[in-house]
Structure 1
């Protein structure tokens, strides 16, 4: 579907790919559109909803500045999906032991691996880039070694899914863990200090930015780039651990070449509408022409493997998921464990009060989200989860 709404109250327009936008998200989009360094326009994806400073589901092109809170604190958060040679009829009738095996292999929540140096190969790839960052910003330090190859909590997950041909897929969602959070929070605060120093007034203090050439700009670009690489490696290591765990619980299988690993919280240097910009995708994935991506639904809904159409008005982007319809607090107040059990019927997953905030009804309808972005992507595979691991 084409652009559904346009906000014209700011310095540049905001082009929105849905009618389903909450009032608080609309206000945030207006705030971003007022900033003096936004190029061309702001795009809002069909899963758009309120976030810190900038809306989740927004794509923001900037000239000569980056907004750290728009990139967010789960820097490099994204998805990884891999198709296996197994079919649905080769899975056991009960997937409880399979879920237990995955949970034993991949730390969830705040947990990490028992030893910091558990994965020498992965650490070797990411460790060298962190030292110069920590030398300049020692406050950033966090448990990054032991958390490499771990899931985290909240909306992060590991799933086994079946596609339209009843083929089995592994799909996971995670990011840069504690170290990414520290990097994000650290530079958000530094950006706020920059605004105070220069007495710059903003419509929202969380839109504090780092101008190119300022004291901390280059340090942030270096740190955010490292966190994005760490997030990619984190997902790569989790996928390896999951495959190893499944080999002990499922019939022999091969992994296929159809694999996707993509960010949806990040900033990248790209060319759009005649300018080289810093493009921030806050809860959006790149959907360049022919590029594969992943759009997950909630615990009880469908997910999609998509191919980008390279739509220039969305800055070659699409949604990163269904998008929340209500806050975690509201979901916990509104729903019960029985509601969770009913809405995740047929899925092997946690069904306790600790994950009620992730109940499917707390999210937008993924089919409606997909219907709103037919101009942005085409569906390659439709996946339905049969097992979900949550932190």
Structure 2
């Protein structure tokens, strides 16, 4: 804007002397910096006169909301008692992760919770934490990597292919998978996700579209991976009519990349401003779904989840084409997300931060480590776990402790013993950093049943 818009300009226009002025200045300064002051004031006047016409608008919707239903920000206190909860594999979960869940259960909006057997300390909700809330979504209850997920493609290819064509498969992963903040594919693919209206109606998301396009079909750093391995189907009554036995499989683990990270950062900031909590639980700040920001986050979160799926689809499509085989089936699931689900007969927001959906009959993948099998599972629909299960083996040691304790040579020795090749990856992702997946699975027999396993053989991670 040529001349900076000030609160007195809005008051002169007729804005009431309340929080609507701060809201308007915030939105205008964030999204309309390049517009002329006179034009902005003209639009602001239209909103002031008929705010109901602008509800849901990407820029003016929040201002209209502040005019129609002025909100008073007040600090929330925690309840003195916890909402009902269950912990699975309690003896193998660190105390800090339990305390994080206990705090979350005392939020005024909490309805029920659960802790999965792979749980460990995180930010806000613990990793492996599940929380049902009343009409409220907690950005840090979803996590920074919105829609982080697993995807397994099973091919009708004999596992002998892994030995006979090992070099070729390593070359495919090395040359045709991209990781981290800067690697992208030279040939970009389009996807129907980019025609979604959220990319035009939500200002923040609109700014991120170009980044999302460039990062489509890439994976994050940390524990994200693309792996070739052996799929062993053990359930003769499986959903795909696959004969029990061994097959070639491609397993991927990644999320919504820069799109999801920026959405998480933006709405977490808004939540902490609108929902002041005691300092030690401030990361559990929520957005009311009845508000403009709450509704907008919900739309953006769902877009990020669908984008994460699109990334996996692109990876599997690229690699499947190089293998030259049509898949028998694909199994996939989110594990950093929030869903609208019925809990005790009431619709709630169920957050699963590092937890796999395990509703009755729901299929999913629970990975182990580079040297331990992952499990293809079918949910049992256990209501006490809020229809959830673990999202993996779970970390036993922090990244810092791994760097202090392990060496590359020690890790390579373990990998060699298991016949696993790793392309990239750091000491912090050592297979010894993870809990025993067999113990984790034993602690959730009432949550899932096993359909088959996936044993990694060629692993690609960020360098």
Residue 272 of structure 1 is matched in structure 2 by: 343
CA contact (8 A) 2:141 2:284 kept: yes
TM-score for both structures, normalised by structure 2:
0.76
Once residues 166 and 80 of structure 2 are traced to their aligned partners in structure 1, the CA distance between those partners, rounded to angstroms, is: 52
Residue 228 of structure 1 is matched in structure 2 by: 305
Match of 1:170 among 244, 250, 255: 250
CA contact (8 A) 2:227 2:458 kept: yes
Structure with the bigger percentage of strand: 1
Deviations 1:258-292 (A, max 9, x none): 31121010011111211101111111111111121
Residue 48 of structure 1 is matched in structure 2 by: 119
Match of 2:369 among 298, 306, 323: 298
Deviations 1:308-342 (A, max 9, x none): 11111111111110111111111111100012112
Once residues 79 and 172 of structure 1 are traced to their aligned partners in structure 2, the CA distance between those partners, rounded to angstroms, is: 6
Deviation at 1:96, TM superposition (A): 3.5
Deviations 1:182-204 (A, max 9, x none): 001111111111124xxx43641
Do residues 16 (structure 1) and 87 (structure 2) align?
A: yes
Residue 349 of structure 1 is matched in structure 2 by: 422
Residue 237 of structure 1 is matched in structure 2 by: 314
Gapped runs of 5+ residues in structure 1? 1-7, 248-252
Residue 5 of structure 1 is matched in structure 2 by: none
Distance 1:53 1:177, change over 3 A: same
Distance 1:328 1:10, change over 3 A: farther
Stretch moving more, 286-295 or 90-99: 90-99
Higher relative contact order (CA 8 A, sep 6+): 1
Structural RMSD (CA): 2.0
Secondary structure, aligned partner of 1:73:
coil
* 1:1-391 matches, cutoff 5 A: 10-18=81-89, 19-39=91-111, 41-93=112-164, 95-114=166-185, 118-120=188-190, 122=191, 124-135=192-203, 143-164=211-232, 165-196=245-276, 200-201=277-278, 203-247=280-324, 253-256=325-328, 258-345=329-416, 346-350=419-423, 355-391=426-462
Once residues 14 and 264 of structure 1 are traced to their aligned partners in structure 2, the CA distance between those partners, rounded to angstroms, is: 19
- Equivalent pairs, count: 369
Gapped runs of 5+ residues in structure 2? 1-78, 233-244
CA contact (8 A) 1:62 1:277 kept: yes
Once residues 293 and 73 of structure 1 are traced to their aligned partners in structure 2, the CA distance between those partners, rounded to angstroms, is: 21
Once residues 119 and 266 of structure 1 are traced to their aligned partners in structure 2, the CA distance between those partners, rounded to angstroms, is: 25
Once residues 80 and 323 of structure 2 are traced to their aligned partners in structure 1, the CA distance between those partners, rounded to angstroms, is: 53
Q: Structure 1 stretches (4+) deviating beyond 4 angstroms?
A: 136-142
Once residues 445 and 271 of structure 2 are traced to their aligned partners in structure 1, the CA distance between those partners, rounded to angstroms, is: 37
TM-score for both structures, normalised by structure 1:
0.89
Structure with the bigger percentage of helix: 2
CA contact (8 A) 1:303 1:384 kept: yes
Deviations 1:79-130 (A, max 9, x none): 1011111111233446233122123112112234356x8212x1x3334233
Distance 1:96 1:153, change over 3 A: farther
Deviation at 1:213, TM superposition (A): 2.5
